[in-house]
Structure 1
Amino acid sequence: MAEIPTSARVVIIGGGVVGASSLYHLAKKGWTDCVLLEKNELTAGSTWHAAGNVPTFSTSWAIMNMQRYSTELYSRLGDEVDYPMNYHQTGSIRLAHSKERMQEFQRACAMGRYQGIGMEMLTPEEAQARYPFLETHDLEGALFDPSDGDIDPAQVTQALAKGARDMGAKI
């Protein structure tokens, strides 16, 4: 076991993706006198069985902004900290079966575009052209988000931890 520091500016409890991300971002801001404590091993809690979905869709400006930031971080993190990661931006099509859902998608699409996410509103026919197996008889339309994807939660946790350690933070 590593020697635990006797003092730290910040102590983070839990070595999952949230704890590792917190430590990484503190270290990026120059707060290297921080320590992360984990009773077992990194990713031993709920991170090891997380789905790893990385969406950008939200009806909340703040949440969409954080999700956009995450996609930008994940796309460069492996190279930045020299740790290989499986991150795939596959895109997604969200289906609207009502006019109200279409309005929600239009609002989210406008927020996404303003934040630099290339979201697009699709007619049922355009959605079916992208995904030929789609049944369109009851669709009002769809939202295409090219930024949606997935990541290996354990790999991103380890990459964040490596980056934090490389900047001087302790785990």
Structure 2
Amino acid sequence: MKKKMGIFLIVSLVFCFAPLFAFAADVNTTTDIDATIEPFTASYFEMADQNVTGYTASKYKADGSLRYTANNVLPGPGIVAMKKKTIDSEVPYGSIVKAPKYITNYDGSSLDSYFVQDTGVGSGVTDFAIDIWWGFCRTTAYNNSETRLGCSSNDASYQSALAWGAPKMKLGFYIK
């Protein structure tokens, strides 16, 4: 009986692992594996002492249209804005910015990596500063105005972004 159980176990293992070995033989190492590691081939650099701020906006603009980022995506968790001149010359849309710690915004998102998808960082911050999407301040633009991107200075997310301030951090940049 022990011998039959042993043979049964060996045969079962062969049938379990045979599909895995067959799959491994089918992998084309020049295309399949390279595609898997492609994100790690992006160029990378770090910049110390860069401002990290938060921004918010109304979901709809004063004209009633849905608000999009400068790169034509809906704002949401994981989105950051940078100076237009930095995006045009150094860090293009779609690049990834890595912060040294997790940052929790007004929406409750706690992230340390962000996609560059917007412009509009103020002139009083460092050249590689990021402005983290902090969440919608309201659905419609306050008083049908685009002042403060449709937010009232009393909106909770707007106040939260201001309270975050503009701390300086060492940021890592994975260039698309």
Instruction: Please give the range of the TM-score, normalised by the shorter of the 2 chains.
Output: under 0.3
Compare the two structures and name the one with the higher strand fraction: 2
Compare the two structures and name the one with the higher helix fraction: 1
From the CA coordinates, give the structure whose radius of gyration is larger: 2
**TM-score using structure 2 length:** 0.26
**TM-score using structure 1 length:** 0.27
